[in-house]
Structure 1
């Protein structure tokens, strides 16, 4: 099967760490060619994620201590450690961790039968030269991603999907949902749990609400009051306002699992909410990465802490199966043409919506 592929494409190049001006929309970028073991994908849609913003502004640098919104306005990053891996990023870079598209060409060693497949790309991938099991890369960070008309990806990290959902709907899943699924699986979420989820209106948070409910857990979600109805519709049994003190609202030792995507000033109250033997799990800190822990709570209450970035091999295949069986649903708050990425990221930072924003090449 042969599909005509152009020489040039539209794409957004990240030219360095900084503000929106570092994102350069171009219409003359060479279309990449798939190397051995890789595929070329015509991108149908690409979701926007916190990691795109964090990487652009250098929020992962240890020189930054504030939340993502304040850091975006006053960059204090050191380029040497401004990527999430702690290694310098290579510029220019095409970002975009979420990709839904169609395979249009294959590299050496990949069956030509894959051409024509509709696929999702794993956002978190084992490094090709991984020295240990925790050595991962992010699609669109350590390699070029989906903010373009075409992208390449490793064949083994590109998953065929059969679904009636649109490209935009499917592109809302990979990064947020795989992050949430990996997080709650590592923390052992089950039907016996009462789970408190912070940042529940965001991509990962809203996915965590659905995925915890899928496992039979009782869900309490924290988000802005205007978003409560939508989150309740995803399965949250109780809603707390984002500014509310969860320990005061729920009582001490009231939940068995905290899924925290915010951190910041709320962290001590979240620990107070945990029952003895409870678990705290995190994959984000948009409210600020620096917080306070009374270590006596950790050991006297026999708590377990889980950080989750590197993903288990079954995470993406499981996620694809959930989507195909209709066990989780997409939550697309809006779409933008790729050329309007500045406007899309400006809206993203306002956090006035529930779910995901998606770019269409």
Structure 2
């Protein structure tokens, strides 16, 4: 099979599009013919560049944490494990299944290849209304978004919710699921066009913090109340304190990202005086996965895909993400070459 191999850390040029042996499934595993993976700023570009060594990536490595595709082979059956049928369409969750170690695409070979091995318990059926490209965005971002917004943030109807980076992968999902809960949503982004994406996805109000004062605009929009929940995945040292200053009494801040920082100023007086709770988590529960797939399957979530590349052009895809020039997701499709 063809795969994009990482044998050393560095710029996009270290990625090699090569022939490697086809993978063989073990007990309880399947082989998936990959039709899509996303290119993620941290888990793809950061791992490749060597800036995510705390994740202990193992070289040589095939990146790709969120493959979607068609099951083409099964390993030996295991009692109690339901094997997805050959021919079925599935998305693969990046966490390890029984007998596996580490994260897919970081500690073991991932989906930036024509074929990938995955444990059956980490394969989830793709709804008829989603194509492979959309499905990879859903499995990558939606479970985490549900975990942040519902499990941790306890969002409820009539909450004022601020979604930072409202045009990005995680932010755009956050806007939509906050609206599903009946919240009043403010989307924030660094340019007018990116703020408009948040508006188009359902945000009641948007703030272009590239031109507007984020704190002042939030307090104006909420008539001085502030926001009850801040949903962040950027940790920008300039905008984080602005959002924090506009938080209401007994409010919550949830976060699952830090590519804009990771170090930010924190007003500890505001923290204790307003009784603010700050929570961080990069994971999700299986219930969050089911919530996300159900919502996407019912057409309740739209994903923003900017560009699709053949796997052979993975270097170009990484450069595009690192440029910061695109608000939507970038997809690699090995079936295109």
TM over 0.5: yes
Q: Give 1:352 shift.
A: 2.9
Q: Give 1:21 shift.
A: 2.1
Matches within 5 A, 1:129-208: 137-185=102-150, 186-208=152-174
Match of 1:122 among 75, 93, 96: 93
1:219 aligns with 2:185: yes
Q: In 2, Cα distance between the equivalents of 1:143 and 1:355?
A: 27
Per the alignment, residue 305 of structure 2 pairs with 332
1:279-299, Cα deviation, whole Å (9 max, x unpaired) = 011111222101121222222
Q: In 2, Cα distance between the equivalents of 1:112 and 1:187?
A: 34
Q: 1:43 touches 1:99 (CA, 8 Å); kept in 2?
A: yes
Per the alignment, residue 67 of structure 1 pairs with none
Per the alignment, residue 48 of structure 2 pairs with 56
1:255 aligns with 2:227: yes
Matches within 5 A, 1:1-361: 9-26=1-18, 28-50=19-41, 51-60=43-52, 82-84=53-55, 88-108=56-76, 109=78, 114-123=85-94, 125=95, 128=98, 137-185=102-150, 186-223=152-189, 224-243=191-210, 244-251=212-219, 253-263=225-235, 264-361=237-334
Write out the 4+ residue segments of structure 1 that deviate beyond 6 Å after TM superposition.
none
SS, match of residue 151 in structure 1: strand
Structure 1 gaps of 5+ residues are: 1-8, 61-81, 131-135
Q: 2:162 touches 2:188 (CA, 8 Å); kept in 1?
A: yes
Q: What is the RMSD of the two structures over their aligned residues, measured on CA atoms?
A: 2.0
Q: In 1, Cα distance between the equivalents of 2:99 and 2:73?
A: 24
Q: In 1, Cα distance between the equivalents of 2:170 and 2:54?
A: 20
Q: 1:253 touches 1:272 (CA, 8 Å); kept in 2?
A: no
Q: In 1, Cα distance between the equivalents of 2:156 and 2:259?
A: 26
Q: In 2, Cα distance between the equivalents of 1:256 and 1:348?
A: 32
Q: Give 1:347 shift.
A: 1.4
Structure 2 gaps of 5+ residues are: none
Q: In 1, Cα distance between the equivalents of 2:84 and 2:245?
A: 54
Q: In 1, Cα distance between the equivalents of 2:49 and 2:254?
A: 25
Q: 1:98 touches 1:173 (CA, 8 Å); kept in 2?
A: no
Q: Give 1:57 shift.
A: 2.0
Aligned length: 322
Q: In 1, Cα distance between the equivalents of 2:320 and 2:286?
A: 33
1:71-100, Cα deviation, whole Å (9 max, x unpaired) = xxxxxxxxxxx143xxx3210111111211
Q: In 1, Cα distance between the equivalents of 2:182 and 2:92?
A: 28
Q: In 1, Cα distance between the equivalents of 2:302 and 2:161?
A: 20
| TM-score between the two structures when normalised by the length of structure 2 | 0.90
Q: 2:215 touches 2:245 (CA, 8 Å); kept in 1?
A: yes
